[in-house]
Structure 1
Amino acid sequence: MTAVQTDSTVAQAHAETSTLKRDPVLIALWIALVLVALIWVAPFVFIVFTSLKTPAAVTSTGAFMPPTELAYDNYSGAWSRGNFASSFFNSVIITVIKVPLGLALSAMAAYALAKIKLKVTKALLLVVVFGTMIPFQVMLAPLFTLVNSFGLIDTYPGVILPYIAFGVPYQVFILHGFFKAIPKELSEAALIDGATHFTIFRRIFLPVCLPVLAALLILDFVSTWNEFAMALVLLQDQHMWTLPLGLMSFQGQFSSNYGQLNAAIVMTVLPATIVYLMFQRYFVSGLTSGAVKG
């Protein structure tokens, strides 16, 4: 019996391999994907290579030629000349507080809208959906006036609270669709056993939605880490600048030093890249799970 199954498995594998070889559409798709990947990777390769070149090597060698002599001092020079220690610390504080807090509020709000029956549930959901349609650029002027009236300009709360306000609606919209797809019998049985809604959310729904939360964490981390316009308006003190603002200032002062400029770019995008690589296995599955219709 085992030999028959083994032969069948081998024959099926050979059939799938031959199908892959003969399918021109699949081959064309793979070629297109490789080309797109090269287009996306090429600028990053150029930035990394340039960040490791001396000023003389930048002008004498091609853009995509690897450096013959590694100039690691570009990174230390850019770090000290651009005062990136302060900018990096500010970005870490803002992102580490905003991302988990925003996800926690979004998850609890999505659970309440999906599983707690109220007369105003649909109206609240419409308000949340409407919040996802408002571009924050049109709100910068009134947002500055509001934050300034509270005396929160050039403070961490003055940036974190608007970030949360503009990030929560999208996250609630995604998580609401995921929670609606979970059978209601789970929560109803727990309620009959005497569990509270918070207990149901923490012990049943939260473990199930971890892949979705991981995908949202990646998106929220990258958007918060790279956010520029709102930080430019709300953070006017140079000592409170985040990394994108510090990079803008560095580019204006040392734009002719291509090695240090590209080193500064690498240091700015590296944390977001690391976070994505850590949670990438949850990214596709998480977004697919959340993109369901309740």
Structure 2
Amino acid sequence: MAVAFDAGASNKVSRDPILVGLWIALLVVALIWVAPFVFIIFTSLKTKAEVTSTGAFMPPVHLAFDNYSSAWNRGNFATAFLNSVVITVIKVPLGLGLSAMAAYALAKIKLPFSKLLLLLVVFGTMIPFQVMLAPIFTLVNSLGLIDTYPGVILPYIAFGVPYQVFILHGFFRGIPKELSEAALIDGASHFTIFRRIFLPVCLPVLAALLILDFVSTWNEFAMALVLLQDQHMWTLPLGLMSFQGQFSSDYGQLNAAIVMTVLPATIVYLIFQRYFVSGLTSGAVKG
């Protein structure tokens, strides 16, 4: 017993330097990631004179909260914020619902060529949307949907669904088939099984996908720039680009605009972050 105890203590001591090194590396990486956010927040609360007279990472002496109200009014962010909210609130739940139903059908319903269908869906994740901007613009323009909400929401859904189906398909495959078979024997339809059995079970995965989809939709720039040419239809990233072009020398208001743009996505992440790691891990490992 004494020998075993000494060996365990020796192993613990030998691992300590590695653990210390990992913690140091983690702290360094965290500082590198946090530093830009500290700079942006500090600068957003400084006056013009204070921005030039103090260091980048020095906290503001006098909190200039009026930078936020001035940037909001000068950049007309109210309209851009409303457009982003409408597009995101419609696109994210609709895309997740379609993805969940498609993933259930491919995983639990016997369909001819189901593997081929899944392969075609997954192939959609391999196509960068940048190379599709010109065909998408031509298609949306031919349908008369330029500068409209459907003209942006539909392409967003088309490029978001494949990845979500891939994650949810792996999760659904990991759920025992006896659950759905027993429900089918009792007379339940596939829609009832999906709604009452599979949907509650996959809520952590849906929460994780909701975070990813919300952030990517909220911050999407290139496709919105091509499909939304009317300034009154611009989303927040486009409004921020315009504001930066007009008031690039006013660093306080510019950084205040950046904070207001990223704040909603940050709040959504903080609300659902406890589901993030567990949800994606379940979808990626099971099946």
* Alignment TM-score, normalising by the size of structure 1: 0.93
**Partner residue, 2:84:** 91
The 5 Å alignment of 1:59-138 reads: 59-138=52-131
SS class of match (1:23) = helix
Distance 2:155 2:15 in 1: 54
Selected match of 1:290 from 274, 277, 283: 283
Contact 1:20–1:26, Cα closer than 8 Å, also in 2: no
Distance 2:12 2:51 in 1: 47
Distance 1:199 1:71, change over 3 A: same
Distance 1:276 1:143 in 2: 30
**Partner residue, 1:190:** 183
Selected match of 1:252 from 245, 257, 261: 245
Distance 1:20 1:238, change over 3 A: farther
**Partner residue, 1:151:** 144
Contact 1:54–1:259, Cα closer than 8 Å, also in 2: yes
Question: Once the 2 structures are TM-superposed, how far is the Cα of residue 19 of structure 1 from its aligned partner?
Answer: 4.0
Question: Once the 2 structures are TM-superposed, how far is the Cα of residue 111 of structure 1 from its aligned partner?
Answer: 0.2
Task: Report the AA paired with residue 105 of structure 1.
Answer: L
User: Which runs of 5 or more residues in structure 1 are unaligned?
Assistant: 1-14
Task: Report the AA paired with residue 162 of structure 1.
Answer: P
Distance 1:102 1:54 in 2: 43
Question: Once the 2 structures are TM-superposed, how far is the Cα of residue 43 of structure 1 from its aligned partner?
Answer: 0.1
Task: Report the AA paired with residue 31 of structure 2.
Answer: L
Cα deviation per residue 1:195-224 (whole Å; 9 max; x = unaligned)? 000010011101110000000000000000
Selected match of 1:279 from 265, 272, 275: 272
Distance 1:257 1:20 in 2: 54
Number of aligned residues:
280
Contact 1:51–1:262, Cα closer than 8 Å, also in 2: yes
Distance 1:139 1:20, change over 3 A: farther
Task: Report the AA paired with residue 107 of structure 1.
Answer: A
Task: Report the AA paired with residue 239 of structure 2.
Answer: G
Task: Report the AA paired with residue 274 of structure 1.
Answer: I
Distance 2:136 2:20 in 1: 51
Cα deviation per residue 1:46-91 (whole Å; 9 max; x = unaligned)? 0000000000000000000000000001000000000000000000
Selected match of 1:50 from 43, 51, 62: 43
The 5 Å alignment of 1:155-170 reads: 155-170=148-163
User: Which runs of 5 or more residues in structure 2 are unaligned?
Assistant: 1-7
For structure 1, which segment, 105-114 or 24-33, has the greater mean C-alpha deviation from structure 2 after superposition?
24-33
Task: Report the AA paired with residue 179 of structure 2.
Answer: L
Question: Once the 2 structures are TM-superposed, how far is the Cα of residue 25 of structure 1 from its aligned partner?
Answer: 1.3
**Partner residue, 1:267:** 260
SS class of match (2:285) = coil
Question: Once the 2 structures are TM-superposed, how far is the Cα of residue 28 of structure 1 from its aligned partner?
Answer: 1.0
Contact 1:47–1:262, Cα closer than 8 Å, also in 2: yes
Selected match of 2:207 from 210, 214, 236: 214
**Partner residue, 2:198:** 205
Question: Once the 2 structures are TM-superposed, how far is the Cα of residue 250 of structure 1 from its aligned partner?
Answer: 0.2
Distance 1:202 1:88 in 2: 33
Question: Once the 2 structures are TM-superposed, how far is the Cα of residue 26 of structure 1 from its aligned partner?
Answer: 1.4
**Partner residue, 1:223:** 216
* Alignment TM-score, normalising by the size of structure 2: 0.95
SS class of match (1:69) = coil
Question: Once the 2 structures are TM-superposed, how far is the Cα of residue 293 of structure 1 from its aligned partner?
Answer: 5.1
